Amino acid sequence: MKKIVVASHGSMAEGMKNTIELFAEHNDNVSYISAYTKKNDDLNETIDKLFDTFADDDKVIIFTDLMGGSVNQRLTVKAQTNKNVFIIYGFNLPVVIEAILSKEDVNATYIKKLVEVGRNSLGTVELDSNDSNNDDEDFFN
């Protein structure tokens, strides 16, 4: 079974949860870790409990906020011995939603494809500064 984990420093993961569930509904196979948000939380204990829920044949995609950050480091250490765990750092909303909704088999090739989805979903909106009559009604026409 495919499992998804969204993990961050602070409450970013919890905020992502709210937005993800708006687009992709609640999914029991998606877990969220908001590290360092409560005084007595033990990140290692939280990670150990999470990994205890994974079956041997589960394919797990973990999204972390920062490469080399403590959340990423601790999850990486825990995942070292599991060939069915993949970690993507620097995630964004479109890539997590893609991972949740996709029916593709989770493997190294698919993970590389997901990274490209994340890269391709980042861009700029070209603003036309000469059009002073732009209103919401014309925006999408």
Per-residue pLDDT tens for 4-61? 999 999 999 999 999 999 999 999 999 999 999 988 789 999 999 999 999 999 999 9
What SS3 class is residue 81? coil
Cβ-in-10-Å burial (0-12, 13-18, 19+) of 115 comes to: middle
Q: Which amino acid is at 58?
A: D
Residues 85, 60: contact at Cβ < 8 Å? yes
Stated pTM of the model: 0.88
pLDDT in tens, 113-136: 999 999 999 999 999 877 555 566
Half-sphere exposure of 92 (CA within 13 A, CB side): 11
